Chain A
Amino acid sequence: MTNNNEIINVQNVLKIYKGDTDVYALNDVSLIIEENEFFTLLGPSGCGKTTLLRLIAGFEHPTSGNILLNGDDISLLPPNKRPVNTVFQSYALFPHMTVAGNIAFGLEMLGWTKQEVSKTVEEMLELVKMEELKNRRPSEISGGQQQRVALARALAPKPKVLLLDEPLSALDLKLRKQMQIELKRLQSETGITFVFVTHDQEEALTMSDRIAVMSEGQVLQYGNPREIYHHPENKFVANFIGDSNFLSATVESENAILSDGTKLKLPKSKRSESFGQKSILIRPEHVIMKSISPEKSTFKGKIYNIVYFGTDTHFHLELPTGEDFTIRKQNTPNEGNEFEIGSVVELVIDEDAIQILND
């Protein structure tokens, strides 16, 4: 039953915190993470992503369910017996040791020889480009540098899986973007499975091989970024990743009919999937606006607000159904005032842009 590539298998994990009310931090979560992949747990605060990470690391036990590493059940193993290392959100560098000392710590605990330890420490310093600072204390280096030391320290013992708990949240934007590229490079160079936790959907989309979107203790959907973005299965996932337009519609065999009767043609793959009252999703960048031709009465809307963003312009429209609709249009060098506030325009949608949601 186990896939050859599978490295972590989370099986029906529950984590309940008992109290005045029982808190279901994880509510029947199941996941498979594959070797050598960059896997991201994505979701808002409180969704359970950090809890799941801690369960994999061993800092807490699941209330029920299993966690398998390479087929072995590690659910009840203490953290110092798991070949899994963590990069903490606060870095948790040991303040009384130097950079080199921090990196060497795990190796010393594992009983490596002095030569092995210093050799690996040197390798790690090179890997994260911190050779010059190896004798500094954590208090003497910058936040970005601390983060790299935390990485090196966790990678040094060559774990099977590296867990990263929102490691980039404390960095400023530019540094963040740099580190995102760095992390991606490190993952492919070392071949170690990375499990990355973040609430930033852009970060998840750019860095991950696969993403699991979580909310309120459950995994709502998981797959590669493209799947998640273009084929979200429910409103939450659709809303959490990227911008969305949700329209209420009745789904028939070939069309989705809006509440004002407008018919939208469904993509071939989605026809005869499910019928009835549904929400449909259309991404703002998948719609083109045209001046309205008086005869055709297809999909139209009235612009009530225009926001300029430099790279593109957002048009906010009101549909005849009363729903809001946003269109994103990339700006070209020669802009005319083609559409103004108050104009009624025709909306042209590629049928593949329509996504039917399950809730």
Chain B
Amino acid sequence: MAKISLFNRPFEIKRIPSFQSIALFTFVGLYGPIIILITYSFNSSASLGVFESFSFQWYVTAWENEKVQEAAFRSLYLAATAATIATIAATMAALATTRTRKFRGMTLIFIIINQPLMIPEIVTAVALLVFFAMIKIATGYTGMMYLIIAHTAFCIPFAYLPIRARLESMDLTLETAGADLYATPWKTFQRITLPMIWPGIIAGYMLAFVISLDDVVISEFVKSAGQETLPTYMLGQLRRFITPETNAIATANIAVSVILVSGFFLLTQRKK
């Protein structure tokens, strides 16, 4: 048996030279900056050079910062509200646009629902700024409604897609069986369809939640004075000065995203 060394490896059909190295380098490069960020968020000193000792102090500072608290709560409230409305609207839209022959206007509905995905965020942000400015002048209202509507709008396509996928993969015969067994259309939906697409609905909700939580550009343009969300607060900080607090907030954001997205993956992998 010839010794297999780096240079006379057996001919692997799938191997393309250097691809593996580049790939691994990319993974390292992708995670590097983030890991550095996370690491330094636990650094007791404020500098980015020396790692003194492990400390939670920046998290404490961030948590005690009133502005951060306010922004965090506002972000969560906004995400929860927008995701809820978006998921309900998306579920209805998904029911309307799946499992049917193409009816007149179906493509149009599909395009409109996915429109936020196709237009650059800055354009939407600007459009909303302009539109809401008009309303502000007319009514004087400067509450959270603008943000809520704006977030709900771009959350809808994100909730729509997983729900639609789940609906399409559902066995139609089950609903026929329900009708055969004397269920009215509403009862069929309630007892058969809804329980079966529920994982898709949850997945859609989580996706919408993350998207809303992470939004920067639209929130920045739509918000009224003082209505900071966590990302807009961070943006403000980044423009002016960097404090290590920012590291802590950033790490917390990463943690939340990872948890929510892992949940989403688990829900959609289990094709049951």
Q: Known contacts A85-B180, A109-B187; is A95 also within 8 Å of B272 by CB?
A: yes
Question: In the bound complex, how far is the Cα of B43 from the Cα of A340, in angstroms?
Answer: 99
Inter-chain contact A88/B181, CB cutoff 8 Å: no
Question: Within 8 Å CB of B171, what residues of A?
Answer: 90, 92
Among residues of A, the one whose C-beta sits closest to the C-beta of B182 is: A109
Inter-chain contact A94/B180, CB cutoff 8 Å: no
Question: Within 8 Å CB of B192, what residues of A?
Answer: 94
Question: In the bound complex, how far is the Cα of B272 from the Cα of A84, in angstroms?
Answer: 30
Inter-chain contact B174/A94, CB cutoff 8 Å: yes
Question: In the bound complex, how far is the Cα of B176 from the Cα of A153, in angstroms?
Answer: 14
Q: Chain B nearest CB: distance from A71 CB in Å?
A: 22
Question: Within 8 Å CB of A84, what residues of B?
Answer: 180
Interface readout for A200-222 with B: 1 if CB under 8 Å, 0 if not? 00000000000000000000000
Interface readout for A46-74 with B: 1 if CB under 8 Å, 0 if not? 00000000000111000000000000000
Question: In the bound complex, how far is the Cα of B182 from the Cα of A78, in angstroms?
Answer: 9
Question: In the bound complex, how far is the Cα of B170 from the Cα of A96, in angstroms?
Answer: 13
In the complex, whether B67 has a CB less than 8 A from a CB of chain A is: no
Question: Within 8 Å CB of B174, what residues of A?
Answer: 92, 94
* Contact-size category for B: 10 to 19
Inter-chain contact A59/B176, CB cutoff 8 Å: yes
Q: Which B residues, 164 to 213, have Cβ-Cβ distances below 8 Å to chain A?
A: 171, 173-174, 176-184, 187, 191-192, 195-196
Q: Known contacts A80-B182, A96-B196; is A88 also within 8 Å of B177 by CB?
A: yes
Inter-chain contact A92/B187, CB cutoff 8 Å: no
Question: Within 8 Å CB of A153, what residues of B?
Answer: 181
Inter-chain contact B179/A90, CB cutoff 8 Å: no
In the complex, whether A106 has a CB less than 8 A from a CB of chain B is: yes
Question: In the bound complex, how far is the Cα of B196 from the Cα of A153, in angstroms?
Answer: 19
Q: Known contacts A80-B180, A80-B184; is A90 also within 8 Å of B173 by CB?
A: yes
In the complex, whether A105 has a CB less than 8 A from a CB of chain B is: yes
Inter-chain contact A92/B196, CB cutoff 8 Å: no
Interface readout for A282-321 with B: 1 if CB under 8 Å, 0 if not? 0000000000000000000000000000000000000000
Question: In the bound complex, how far is the Cα of B181 from the Cα of A105, in angstroms?
Answer: 7
Inter-chain contact B179/A80, CB cutoff 8 Å: yes
* Contact-size category for A: 20 to 34
Q: Known contacts A90-B173, A96-B196; is A57 also within 8 Å of B182 by CB?
A: no
Among B174, B184, B196, the one with the most A-chain Cβ atoms within 10 Å of its Cβ is B174
Interface readout for A75-102 with B: 1 if CB under 8 Å, 0 if not? 0001111001110101010111000000
| Interface residue from A58, A59, A80, A86 paired with B183 (Cβ < 8 Å) | A80
Q: Chain B nearest CB: distance from A159 CB in Å?
A: 9
Among B176, B184, B187, B192, the one with the most A-chain Cβ atoms within 10 Å of its Cβ is B176
Among residues of A, the one whose C-beta sits closest to the C-beta of B191 is: A105
Inter-chain contact A85/B181, CB cutoff 8 Å: yes
Q: Which A residues, 112 to 158, have Cβ-Cβ distances below 8 Å to chain B?
A: 139, 153-154, 157
Question: Within 8 Å CB of B272, what residues of A?
Answer: 95, 139
In the complex, whether A173 has a CB less than 8 A from a CB of chain B is: no
Among residues of A, the one whose C-beta sits closest to the C-beta of B192 is: A94
Q: Chain B nearest CB: distance from A77 CB in Å?
A: 11
In the complex, whether A1 has a CB less than 8 A from a CB of chain B is: no
Among residues of A, the one whose C-beta sits closest to the C-beta of B183 is: A109
Inter-chain contact B180/A57, CB cutoff 8 Å: yes
Name A's B-contacting residues (CB within 8 A): 57-59, 78-81, 84-86, 88, 90, 92, 94-96, 105-106, 109-110, 139, 153-154, 157
Per CB-CB distance, the 5 closest pairs between chain A and chain B, nearest first, are A106-B181, A92-B177, A109-B182, A92-B173, A79-B179
Q: 22 A-B pairs, CB-CB below 8 angstroms?
A: A58-B180, A59-B176, A78-B179, A79-B179, A79-B180, A80-B179, A80-B181, A81-B182, A84-B180, A85-B180, A88-B176, A90-B171, A90-B173, A92-B171, A94-B177, A95-B272, A105-B191, A109-B182, A109-B183, A110-B182, A153-B181, A157-B181
